Every structure is written in C-alpha cells, then in structure tokens.
Amino acid sequence: MTDLAASLREQLTLALHPHKLVLRDDSAHHAGHAGAGEGAHFAVHIVSPQFAGVRTLERHRMVYAAAATLMAGRIHALQIIALTPEETGDRS
C-alpha cells in the first residue's frame, strides 16, 4: 500500500468508523489520459453505520469531506460505493 493510500485509509477510518473499507488504486489505468494530471485515482468501497438514513449524494459528500486534505491536490479522482451494514447484510 502506498503512503497516499495509507493516508486515505486513515482519514476515512477516523471520520467514518467503517465496518469495511476497501481501497483500490486505479492510477495506473489513467496514466497519460487527458485530464489525469499528476493526481492519483482511487476507488473506495466503504460500509459504515454513519450512512444510515443518508442519501447517496450526502454519503459521497461525507467521504469527500473526510478525504478533503488529500482531494485538494494529491488525489485527482475518487470512485465511491458507500453503504450501511444493513445494505450489505452485515449487522455486526
């Protein structure tokens, strides 16, 4: 795991206390594409009880807010799947 991925994981964990957090670095797939810039591309699958009763758009805003310091320059794009434990069938 890169330092950037570790930082993203830490920020999301501290802010959202996920039951599950899977990060995938997709930067290599975007190398050389127009608009890719120097920033990294990540996909995140996060399951948190904090998303209960929250619409998808607001869940994404919560994730972006948690990653704000990294989104300000080091991360170019973030693909998000944000679910509650109930939506995944995990009630632990």
CATH topology of domain 3-88: GMP Synthetase; Chain A, domain 3 (3.30.300)
**What is the pLDDT at residue 35?**
46
Phi-psi region of 80 (alpha: psi -120 to 50; beta: other; left: phi over 0): beta
Ranges assigned E (strand) in 1-92: 20-25, 40-47, 75-83
The tens-digit pLDDT sequence of the chain (92 residues) is 678 999 999 999 999 999 999 999 888 665 555 444 456 889 999 999 999 999 999 999 999 999 999 998 888 889 999 999 999 987 65
Give Cα 35 distance to the centre of its chain: 20
**What is the pLDDT at residue 39?**
62
Structure token pair of residue 64: 């972006």
* Domains in the chain: boundaries: 3-88
Q: pTM score, two decimals? A: 0.85
